[in-house]
Structure 1
């Protein structure tokens, strides 16, 4: 299977996902549409954090990414010469729908074989997409394997997990070429000069997927005189999130713990703001920290870059992400800033 054949299969997958999320069902793929609908419902019942809205949002992002233009632009920087395939074991997280799909795409687009170990929290959707690829090109059948057993017969590893599991991965896979990902969080810098309309998209960075993704903003940096009322007004459209039981339970629990500990809090009925130097805030909580100068803050964030996935701002730095864009990454936005394609090409 050539690179062009692999690209074409993924481009067709993008079209399939676009049709599915827009409820445009062709006769050609009616069985796969039905399967994906069924697996979406199963995912919702199996994982309380996976709503239809969030699953469709993830599928829509991949539909938008898997185009001829995007794939060509992404891969243009690499020498993708055909060579014997390696088998890459990919251990996927399950915090948000299809969170491991970028690794899946990277391994296959480079011509390698993939051995997939899915999280029990997200194991329904990807097999349907694999079946679509096989229907596009039967050669994928020999290149994709799933396993629930101990990983065996592989040449390299890409694993994503918590800081605790990362230590285990580092030890267990030390003799293999590997990418091991740990916990990371994303932060936003607010200057106070933003309008309510400019701040509004930040709500998507905070609340999309209930804040469970590494690209979700879990902490904001604010000037000393910042008025939280502006932020609360800007993100108020997200207030229905409190109607989700699991989210509401976390909100109630964390608020009770903080109040018993006599922490100073700001609260708008669906989000708790707590001053804290940590980056990783609990569900329904957003940490904040005040800064006196942007220069000092930039230096601090540079020192902490190993703990940060994304920095969001109103165009303060070229490498910052615009408000509302954290969950719409480009194909070249590699997790932890580790170039997965280059890693795979070096095997």
Structure 2
């Protein structure tokens, strides 16, 4: 791709602004290269978002913005899109039903719709109603071509050609009933897992803490389950998590920790606990907040077979040298543009949908 089209160039400019904005917040100064009006708008929305949704702390929103500032570089966008012929797209209206579990979780879907030359009809989650509209407002100012290309609605979705909907296993049944006659991508619950061998370094286990605690474990890429060798000693694992011990001071997290601990105690479940995280042996994948499930294995081939069989429940796998598509420790919440949710290529889906 020798020359960026205006749609893609707008996202590059957005990424540059987000990078400068985060640097200003980190340094507690305002750079002369950052538009002061937009700086204040983003700063205010971060504060308001936290008041609206207690899980959207300043640190977590900034992490999302910082991750997008890196992802939206010229190099990344070119590497992502060079394999597609965007000229093949037939303009369409794409309904987006977005989740709100972590800040701006639906931004990748919106990005995909716009860079392929389509119109997005967006139904926001009630948990995340402020951040995405602000990003669209910024994009529209720097690229007027996006005007009328994004429509936010609270009403029943109508007049669309395709749909991308993200929700729970329960809402997926509703989505399939309502959207089943249109070309669609319907996403259900998924979680990330980590496969440990017992030979991990302190640095790897410390990085794993980011995969577990970032966004309070609410993301589909949050590690909610560990596969460990039989007889695994969790002492080193718990020591490496200590950098997140202050998380227990967040009242919503603490309430979940207290509640789930009480349930485990009353039910006489066996679990390990370090005062802010519980580790419980369980065959499931979707662990409650403040809990990580674990399952023992004897042979690495056994856990590979199980993960392959349960792939519909797993978003990504953290490990070192065990899987061809593994995610490095500490990197689950910084996906690349080509790391598609559920492994479904949304660009290809949009280009093939007439």
TM-score (norm 2): 0.96
Q: Identify which of 261, 283, 302 aligns with 1:296.
A: 302
- Within the alignment, does 1:117 sit opposite 2:131 as a pair? no
d(CA) in 1 for partners of 2:146 and 2:109?
A: 16
Q: Cα offset for 1:30? A: 2.1
Q: Cα offset for 1:27? A: 6.6
Alignment length (residue pairs): 346
CA contact (8 A) 2:100 2:126 kept: yes
d(CA) in 2 for partners of 1:260 and 1:135?
A: 56
CA contact (8 A) 2:315 2:341 kept: yes
Q: Tell me the alpha carbon deviations over residues 153-180 of structure 1, each in whole angstroms, 9 at most, x when there is no partner.
A: 1110000000000000001001110000
Written as runs of structure 1 = structure 2, the 5 A alignment for 1:147-296 is 147-296=153-302
Q: Which residue of 2 aligns with 1:307?
A: 313
Q: Which residue of 1 aligns with 2:48?
A: 42
d(CA) in 2 for partners of 1:5 and 1:139?
A: 8
Q: Tell me the alpha carbon deviations over residues 64-112 of structure 1, each in whole angstroms, 9 at most, x when there is no partner.
A: 0001000000001111116441000101000000000000000000000
CA contact (8 A) 1:315 1:322 kept: no
Cα RMSD of the aligned pairs, angstroms, is 1.2
* Partner SS for 1:316: coil
- Within the alignment, does 1:11 sit opposite 2:12 as a pair? yes
- Within the alignment, does 1:319 sit opposite 2:338 as a pair? no
d(CA) in 1 for partners of 2:161 and 2:35?
A: 35
Tell me which moved more, 77-86 or 178-187: 77-86
d(CA) in 2 for partners of 1:198 and 1:3?
A: 38
* Partner SS for 1:187: strand
Written as runs of structure 1 = structure 2, the 5 A alignment for 1:79-118 is 79-81=85-87, 83-118=89-124
Q: Tell me the alpha carbon deviations over residues 194-235 of structure 1, each in whole angstroms, 9 at most, x when there is no partner.
A: 122221100000000000000000000111121110100111
Structure 1: gaps of 5 or more residues: none
CA contact (8 A) 2:11 2:139 kept: yes
d(CA) in 2 for partners of 1:230 and 1:28?
A: 44
* Partner SS for 2:8: helix
* Partner SS for 2:86: coil
d(CA) in 1 for partners of 2:140 and 2:6?
A: 12
d(CA) in 2 for partners of 1:151 and 1:171?
A: 14
d(CA) in 1 for partners of 2:195 and 2:89?
A: 45
* Partner SS for 2:220: coil
d(CA) in 2 for partners of 1:158 and 1:276?
A: 32
Q: Which residue of 1 aligns with 2:80?
A: 74
Q: CA, structure 1 residues 225+105, in 2 after alignment: closer, same or farther (shift >3 Å)? A: same
Tell me which moved more, 21-30 or 37-46: 21-30
Q: Tell me the alpha carbon deviations over residues 42-70 of structure 1, each in whole angstroms, 9 at most, x when there is no partner.
A: 10001010100000000000000001000
CA contact (8 A) 2:89 2:351 kept: no
Structure 2: gaps of 5 or more residues: 25-29
TM-score (norm 1): 0.98
